[in-house]
Amino acid sequence: MPAKKLKTPTSSALSVRDGDTLLLVGTMKGLFLFGSRPNRRRWSMAGPFFPGSSVYGAAFDTRAGRKRIWAAPSSMHWGAELAWSDDFGKTWERPEVPLVRFPESSGAALKNIWQIAPGRASEPDLLYCGVEPSALFESRDAGKTWTLNPGLWGHPHREKWQPGGGGLCLHTILVDPSQEGRLTIAISTGGVYRSDDGGKTWQARNQGVRMEYLPDPYPEFGQCVHKVVHHRARPGRLFLQNHWGLYRSDDGGDTWKDVANGVPSDFGFCMGIHPRDPDTAYIVPIHSDGFRCTPDGRLRVYRTRDAGASWQPLTRGLPQKDALETVLRDAMAVDAFDPAGIYFGTRSGKLYGSRDEGRTWTLLHEGLPPIVCVKAATAENVRSRARGVKSRRTTARTRRAA
Amino acid sequence: MAVRFLIPGPLRPFSGGISFVALAASPATVADAISALGTAYPGLKERILTEQGEVRPHVNLFVAETNIRDGGGLAMRVPEGAEIAILPAVSGG
């Protein structure tokens, strides 16, 4: 018998048309949705959804005609769960019995859901979740039921993984769109692992990634990887932001090359990659693991256009004085438009966006709770406007940063 | 008299909106009481206990005025007619 679900109405929803840009913004105190026409000049906001709960994981799934927003609210008191909305936030469905749960035999209990990743377009009912404590869950029925991936849970390295500052979390899931069976995940602190057989077996893929904080600087695993991105048209091309260190791989993670060339710090959390050019990537350098703020009080996005041979600061529209900001590991996203839109959120609750590939930036919204995840998507399968309560129009134009 | 649970506001979506749930049976222990509660309202049990059957770290359960952590945990005896309060801990950030 299917689990009973609660359908929770909300007082806020986003009005969306096909082709609109969507931002799913997870914060420490709920999820917010932002929407814009494709020109990305004016943004509407809806939320908070799940007020009081952190939302580290969110995704928009358009496969098989869906328009489903997935969210992973986590209450300090009542635990973490998966919820979804098929009407851009007007209503949310929450199963009474949470869908993602460790089996009794594992001895583990779910602390948080860090990542929700749809599978390939050719497998429209396949979904993945990365959770804390570090584990991968899979659903092969569009999210109705979930199972723990036994290959990774049973991996002999697992007992030696250690929690980073955010906990022992599996925070990155990269589904190779062209090579069936290939999945890459990242764990803090465990490193990068890859499966080439659909998740049955997993191999550490950290060769060349330095650990500044262990006697052996190049161990097989145990790296504190903060984020990995890949290029969908060239999935062998990866960029990696480590606890210290900035890397590129051209062979799907088999080997990594240090590409921290000309950045003020190779410490950082977030990464983005251009939707069409695999040589173009974005980061926000952070001073150090001790300080964890932008160097010199300047909020700068750094962009490479030559696969990491050089990086240039992007500052137009971003505060360059007294801006001691932090952008966390999942708080940067890139949309699919041309020119590409780049978005990031800060721990101080500011959401910035660029609709010209980083040349200029706009403060889209401020005053949000600490932002922990930003996901960009293009609305599909909407057909007509969602009939929700009118969303609030932000005043992005008037908030353009000096 | 029946043992009854006091349901805090954030969990009332899982109790159909009601603030008290009276148990039909007489549970011997807190664990028995939660099990009976979960039969009628599975969403409540799931948010009180982890999937390993342990009380979530930031949830407090009081039998009358005794925190079960000071009274034997889930094995604590439940007197007839007792009220069990589910209270979120004073924690947050």
Give contacts of B 25-44 with A, CB under 8 A. Answer: 41-43
Q: Confirm if A330 and A372 have CB atoms less than 8 A apart.
A: yes
Interface contact A78, partner B, CB < 8 A:
yes
A279-283: long-range pairs with CB below 8 Å, 24+: A279/A304, A279/A305, A279/A306, A279/A307, A280/A304, A280/A305, A280/A357, A281/A229, A281/A239, A281/A307, A281/A308, A282/A314, A282/A332, A282/A334, A282/A342, A282/A358, A283/A241, A283/A246, A283/A311
Task: Evaluate whether A96 touches B43 at the Cβ level (below 8 Å).
Answer: yes
Among B41, B52, B59, the residue to mutate for chain A (most A Cβ within 10 A): B52
For residues A261 and A364, the answer to whether their CB atoms sit within 8 Å is no
C-alpha distance from A347 to closest chain B C-alpha (Å): 13
Provide the domain count of chain B.
1
Q: Where in the sequence is the domain holding B76, given as residue range(s)? A: 4-88
Closest CA to A78 of B51, B56, B21, B67: B56
Query: Rounded to the nearest 5 degrees, what angle is found at the Cα of A11, between the Cα atoms of A5 and A17?
Result: 90
Paired with A227 in beta bridges are: A241
Q: Is the pLDDT of residue B81 over 90?
A: yes
Beta strands, E only, A210-350: 225-231, 234-242, 246-249, 257-258, 267-273, 281-286, 301-304, 312-314, 332-334, 342-345
Q: Is residue B93 part of a domain?
A: no
**% helix, strand, coil for chain A, step of 5:** 5, 40, 55
pLDDT at A392: 52
Looking at domain A5-393, which CATH architecture does it have?
7 Propeller (2.130)
- The pLDDT of residue A3 is 57
Specify the DSSP class assigned to residue A105: G
Residue B85 near chain A (CB below 8 Å): no
Stretches in chain A below the pLDDT threshold 70: 1-3, 9, 384-402
Q: What's the pLDDT at A399?
A: 41
For residue B41, being part of any structural domain is answered with: yes
Chain B residues lying within 8 Å of A2, measured CB to CB: none
Interchain proximity A78–B42, CB inside 8 Å? no
A97 touches chain B (CB under 8 A): yes
Which residue is listed with tokens 């904080």?
A213
Residues of chain A with Cβ-Cβ distance to B91 below 8 Å are 76-77
The enclosing domain of B80 has a CATH number of 3.10.20.30
Question: Distance from B35 to chain A by nearest Cα, in Å?
Answer: 14
Q: Are B31 and B3 in contact (CB under 8 A)?
A: no
Position A142 scores a pLDDT of 97
Taking the model in full, what pTM does it have? Answer: 0.94
Closest CA to A228 of A244, A216, A215, A239: A239
The predicted-structure confidence for B25-76, as pLDDT tens digits, reads as follows 899 999 999 999 999 999 999 999 999 999 999 999 999 999 999 999 999 9
Q: Which two tokens stand for residue A105?
A: 């035999």
Q: Do B91 and A108 touch (CB under 8 A)?
A: no
Determine the residue of chain B that is closest to A101 in CA distance: B51
Distance CA A168, CA B15 (A): 33
H/E segment holding residue B43? helix B42-48
> Using CB atoms within 10 A of its CB, is residue B10 exposed (0-12), middle (13-18) or buried (19+)?
middle
Domain residue ranges in chain A: 5-393
Whether B44 maps to a domain, the answer reads yes
Q: What is the pLDDT of residue A226?
A: 97
Interchain contact, A77 vs B54, CB within 8 Å = no
**In whole angstroms, what is the distance from residue A195 CA to residue A189 CA?**
18
User: Any CB–CB contact under 8 A between B91 and chain A?
Assistant: yes
CB pairs under 8 A between A and B: 57
For residue A10, the model assigns a pLDDT of: 73
